[in-house]
Amino acid sequence: MPIRHHIAERMKLLDASGIRKVFDLAAKLPDPINLSIGQPHFDVPAPAKAEAIAAIKRGFNKYTQTQGHPDLRAAVAAAAAEEFGWDDQKPYLITSGVSGALLLAFMTLINPGDEVILLDPYFVMYKHLVHLAGGKAVMVDTYPDFTPDPDKIAAAVTDRTTLLVVNSPGNPTGRVYSSDELRAVAEVADRAGLLVVSDEIYNLFCYDTPFASMASVYENTLLMRGFSKSYAMTGWRMGWCTGPVKIIEKMTMLQQYSFVCAPSMAQAAGAAALACDMSQQVADYRRKRDMVQEALAEPFGLRKPGGAFYAFVPAPKGMTGSEFVERAIENNVLIIPGNVFSERDTHFRISYATSDEKLAEGLKILARLGR
């Protein structure tokens, strides 16, 4: 008898076709200039690597507590206390990256038919995870300058709305929200009784203004941060979150039955990473951001990104973002079409997390193609 199996219907809600098409095209290139990768090009700080190696050698290779090792949770709590002035009663959950935290949160908080407000453009994972949880992603357009409009957000709220997702500094736009902008959004969320999920994975990468956190202006925030971008630990799968006690408790329970815990040796290195000074790396990325702005502002009308390590660039007139990406790939530059991150196909995303030489070479080609 044939084995009975089928692909679950929920998998039809996931679509990786946009990125897959880019990499299918890029596979034909022998040595592309890769401005697509969303991970730092610098290495993990030496103290964090040394502590991970030491942890492995001393046998720290087994499960930790589901919520994370007490030493790392204490280090995270101390850093948060210094930044926010919080007491030590705040709950903390160590997760397998911010991606893991998002999955836990959405599966914990979204019922079938619930609506989740996303600010468009958005990190590609948000929409798909909302759909996977049975929810409906409601898009609030932020073009052309990627400013969160409180009136548009308020107009999107219905009796089915449960969550609002905020990402600053943002992927793909590099947009950094000011304290005033966050307060205006928080007022809308407060009136509607919404929980705000604040993805702050790029919090260290702010170039023109101090970083502002939603958690500093709105109590009903589920705050998520990670080690992947700040400390180049993308493969180590390390993040943390904090928020209302009952939510963190349920997310911890779900982690017990899914991820179990974040990798033990990576947790051992987490406290060492938090103590590292990353100011030189941030300064290097600020300089790279300036290279991007200088090269692409005039031919494309690029609005200056304020953080992260991305630029979300308008495609030339008469072309969609996808069409321009194909043209760039034909000229050996790998970038991502904007419709991967948006309901529009008017922009493309570049990552400047690469060497100065590769970045300069890629920018020269893009600027030529944009004229």
Check whether residue 165 and residue 222 sit in a common domain: yes
Tell me what pLDDT residue 17 has: 61
For the chain, what is the mean pLDDT?
A: 94
Check whether residue 92 and residue 230 sit in a common domain: yes
d(CA 19, CA 211): 30
pLDDT in tens, 85-99: 998 789 999 999 999
Question: What share of the chain has pLDDT > 70, as a percent?
Answer: 97
Buried b (16+ CB within 10 A) or exposed e, 245-284: eebbebbbebbeeebebbbbbbbbbbbbbbeeebeebbeb
Check whether residue 18 and residue 159 sit in a common domain: no
Q: How confident is the model at residue 361 (pLDDT cuts 50, 70, 90)?
A: very high
Check whether residue 190 and residue 68 sit in a common domain: yes
Task: State the pTM of this model.
Answer: 0.94
Q: How confident is the model at residue 30 (pLDDT cuts 50, 70, 90)?
A: confident
Q: How confident is the model at residue 155 (pLDDT cuts 50, 70, 90)?
A: very high
Tell me what pLDDT residue 31 has: 86
Mean pLDDT of 276-294: 98
Q: How confident is the model at residue 248 (pLDDT cuts 50, 70, 90)?
A: very high
Domain count for the chain, please give it: 2
Check whether residue 250 and residue 300 sit in a common domain: no
pLDDT in tens, 97-112: 999 999 999 999 999 9
Check whether residue 74 and residue 221 sit in a common domain: yes
Q: How confident is the model at residue 16 (pLDDT cuts 50, 70, 90)?
A: low
| Inside any domain, residue 176 | yes
| Residue at token pair 């008017």 | 346
Check whether residue 313 and residue 244 sit in a common domain: no
ω before 91 within 30° of 0 (cis)? no
pLDDT in tens, 116-144: 999 999 999 999 999 999 999 999 999 99
Mean pLDDT of 303-322: 96
| Inside any domain, residue 125 | yes
Check whether residue 130 and residue 181 sit in a common domain: yes
Check whether residue 39 and residue 51 sit in a common domain: no
Tell me what pLDDT residue 44 has: 97
Domain that holds residue 58: 46-274
Q: How confident is the model at residue 184 (pLDDT cuts 50, 70, 90)?
A: very high
Q: How confident is the model at residue 13 (pLDDT cuts 50, 70, 90)?
A: confident
| Inside any domain, residue 133 | yes
| Inside any domain, residue 247 | yes
Mean pLDDT of 11-37: 78
Check whether residue 236 and residue 363 sit in a common domain: no
More confident residue, 16 or 7: 7
Residue 216 vs residues 35, 85, 226, 367: alpha-carbon distances, Å: 33, 9, 18, 40
Check whether residue 135 and residue 265 sit in a common domain: yes
Mean pLDDT of 43-51: 97
